[in-house]
Structure 1
């Protein structure tokens, strides 16, 4: 009987894979297609996990997944660097899920991320990967009721996805026992090792066992803080660097600038709305006040528009994030809250209404489009005060931001 059940499972996997291969997809770039030719079967993953992988639309591993999955399955500590939008979440989710013992009631995997929205998204992704595996996955994030987390932790939990402050709070209150965790993942590690988060991250590690498997992932790594942290907490790591020195930005994202005065920005934005074929777009501003004001102006122009920033109540942020991801609005105005890891495949245009000061911020902003090898467009509004920053960012990222043409080729950013 068991052999028959196994055959049925294998048939389901084969059927899901065949459907995926038949499905027409958008153009994909070398960021995700330049692989060694491995398949998910190459890693001897459980059939139930493979079925979920194919149903989620992954036909084969991306380069970072090819490199990271076997190392993680071997129990190695890994420091993985790959472009934003090239499958880093899958690179750690797939192997860690496959290693879970569902009969063990203790927390076995802890994933720490810097923002609440990313925690929600990552927990959702983990649930999709484990759809057929009967695992218990919990999101623990600030701005929500800690009482609900306490009640949830009275039951079996295999995986926790958390923001740093909330998981530390739960550990200090002795609500969660982190000593049972076998694998800890720091996603967007450059942020988690920043001056703001480093003290909290260190305190969390004091609650973990000393021989734990540690996985660090990001598109950018602060050299000094990473080296210090690695020396203390990540012995003998396997380094994976999928980013060549000359290609930090995604290949599928075309970058333009519009050189204008501050007072011309709204008019320029309105013109872009009328000329571009936008599936969904994210527009970035420096401050929460500018986010709210611009969203109001866009609505007055007659366009559907949401906005999101860190000063909003968490329930309101959750609703905006959920509704935008579901396609309820074509446009989202955001602060830099939304630059980290947020994966909404239908976003094909990013507009920097306010140009960022730092190259890391720019990199993560424009990485909201052109995800997983697809095509996208990044348009930057540049005033006199932004020129120096733009030149420096081009230099830091070894990229070119071109002057915006009169007409933008649809083939650069549409399906």
Structure 2
């Protein structure tokens, strides 16, 4: 995903009831309100921030970069997953200056390998089949050319981004709004199942240029005649392997039937099963294929397993919490019932903990997602709902409390840490029943999951910095290992 930065949210004390999926209380340091984008329309017109304005905008000859409100420079060491570039700059692609301003204010300094390969081809209008690792900048690879090609003089839907989950739809829409904030009127809308249909209908009665949606909801709006997609010039499918699985493929085929024949289709994913090949042959016209997958797992993620019995799992987790230097962690279970039980147990052990799963009401899921992303809690217990494309850079540890059944799920789970070339740790609690799955997944991914040592070297998963000018929050974590033990 893209290299978004997360900001801590201000002095708020969280302590919602069980049905909210929130447990415990934390008191973060800095003050910044969390965005309240509960799957509804996003992207009201935004002014061009701090850019110097004088009727006609920035004058020729102005040093426009001096006016940018740049986030703190990210000096963490990065792996070759994102540094092995050709040396291109975002300015090389002849993008609108206002779009460049949004890109730089996101903290994106130079294009990653997938962005280098994808942006110029997407700008040319050609179909793309792109395969790249999770956490290497795929969102930017399609959002940048998508926004560059939006014509503000036209008041119809010009681009659709399809994603498999509501959380990913909200995340992508937020990134899209942030990048486009200087473009002067790009209207972005997120629409997902589980939210008020009437709100979406009212929003579509106004101008919308970009729709980021889950398949079921956008198809419903299309069939009702509310979302008019007959002039859409670009359709993006993020996490394409999931969108073309049995759960969604019929809906996707139906949506495409409403699009014009000359539309551009971009597919992005880390894995491409046979279903994607069939879809590509049917709907893509001489697609440009990008494959940046020499290996499947991110270089910055170190993988360990701990051989335990089912009864020892909670004790093992407690030991990990006390010994590891965790910034934020995501803990995966294989069922919603086990998610709630484990979250309750973690809270009883004295650690701050949220949980999230598909059976929760959508408004609570949105709130948990945004609060965790903004640093209100250190640990999140979840099901595989949270494995697709979620980009929270503060996560440096992923724990598989329950080991997954297949390699694809494992790959997406551990990809929640080590985002955008940074370091991460994946720890798997393995029972005797899991040992065959462990070997099979190692073989399929051509990766090495090692036995957990008695002491894990901090340099494997705690951010190291090039200079003293780094983010003080991470330095504080490094100096105070006991910080993980903030209790509820």
**Could you say which residue in structure 2 is the equivalent of 1:400?**
448
Q: What is the alpha-carbon distance in structure 2 between the residues aligned to residue 369 and residue 353 of structure 1? A: 15
Per-residue deviation at 1:7?
A: 2.9
- Please tell me whether residue 375 in structure 1 is matched to residue 426 in structure 2: no
- Please tell me whether residue 238 in structure 1 is matched to residue 288 in structure 2: yes
Check whether the contact 1:283–1:333 (CA below 8 A) recurs between aligned residues: yes
Secondary structure in 2 matching 1:342: coil
The one of 160, 165, 189 equivalent to 1:138 is 189
Per-residue deviation at 1:180?
A: 1.2
**Could you say which residue in structure 1 is the equivalent of 2:357?**
309
Per-residue deviation at 1:24?
A: 4.8
Gaps of 5+ in 1: none
Cα RMSD for the two superposed structures: 1.4
**Could you say which residue in structure 1 is the equivalent of 2:217?**
166
**Could you say which residue in structure 1 is the equivalent of 2:341?**
293
Structure with larger RCO (C-alpha < 8 A, sep 6+)? 2
Q: Deviations over 1:4-51 (max 9, x none)?
A: 61333xx2336649x67x835111000000000000011011111111
Q: What is the alpha-carbon distance in structure 1 between the residues aligned to residue 453 and residue 68 of structure 2? A: 43
Residues 141-290 of structure 1: pairs in structure 2 closer than 5 A: 141-222=192-273, 224-244=274-294, 247-290=295-338
Structure 1 moving runs of 4+ over 3 Å = 1-4, 14-17
- Please tell me whether residue 332 in structure 1 is matched to residue 363 in structure 2: no
Q: 1:293 to 1:360 in 2, by over 3 A?
A: same
Number of residues paired by the alignment? Answer: 408
Q: What is the alpha-carbon distance in structure 2 between the residues aligned to residue 211 and residue 243 of structure 1? A: 30
Higher helix residue share: 1
Per-residue deviation at 1:80?
A: 0.4
Q: What is the alpha-carbon distance in structure 1 between the residues aligned to residue 427 and residue 148 of structure 2? A: 40
**Could you say which residue in structure 2 is the equivalent of 1:102?**
152
**Could you say which residue in structure 2 is the equivalent of 1:71?**
121
Per-residue deviation at 1:227?
A: 1.8
Q: What is the alpha-carbon distance in structure 2 between the residues aligned to residue 4 and residue 136 of structure 1? A: 22
Per-residue deviation at 1:54?
A: 1.1
The one of 402, 421, 424 equivalent to 1:354 is 402
**Could you say which residue in structure 1 is the equivalent of 2:392?**
344
TM-score (norm 1): 0.96
Secondary structure in 1 matching 2:140: helix
Per-residue deviation at 1:55?
A: 1.1
**Could you say which residue in structure 1 is the equivalent of 2:60?**
6
Per-residue deviation at 1:3?
A: 9.7
Per-residue deviation at 1:333?
A: 0.1
TM-score (norm 2): 0.82
Check whether the contact 1:13–1:50 (CA below 8 A) recurs between aligned residues: no
